[in-house]
């Protein structure tokens, strides 16, 4: 069964940031198309939760912080 794709706000909630921050990261190129998100229409994007969590944990480690525990 494929993983559920998340809206911008759901992705932000998963990562503990506002949804607009997730959009900013996408526009800045921090999130990779096809890896972290999918473009479904002209202005419709959906985010992959497993890839986002792996990306977030990698960013936390690079900054020297322990990864945030998600419950």
Which residues have CB under 8 Å from 34's CB, separation 6+? none
Please tell me the predicted confidence (pLDDT) of residue 59.
Answer: 77
Q: What is the domain partition of the chain in residue ranges?
A: 8-62
Q: CA-to-CA distance for 40 and 24, rounded, in angstroms?
A: 18
Q: CA-to-CA distance for 10 and 15, rounded, in angstroms?
A: 9
pLDDT at 16 over 90: yes
Please tell me the predicted confidence (pLDDT) of residue 34.
Answer: 94
In the numeric block, the tokens 């890839």 are attached to: 51
User: Model's pTM, two decimal places?
Assistant: 0.78
27-56 pLDDT tens trace: 999 999 999 999 999 999 999 999 999 999
Q: CA-to-CA distance for 21 and 41, rounded, in angstroms?
A: 20
pLDDT at 19 over 90: yes
The DSSP annotation for 43-55 comes to S-EEE-HHHHHHH
């Amino acid at each position: 069964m494929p993983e559920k794709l998340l809206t911008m706000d759901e992705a932000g909630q998963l990562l503990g940031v506002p949804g607009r921050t997730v959009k900013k990261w996408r526009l800045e190129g921090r999130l990779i198309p096809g890896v972290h998100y999918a473009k479904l229409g002209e202005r419709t994007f959906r985010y992959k939760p497993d890839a986002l969590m792996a990306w977030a944990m990698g960013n936390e480690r690079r900054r020297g912080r322990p990864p945030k525990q998600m419950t």
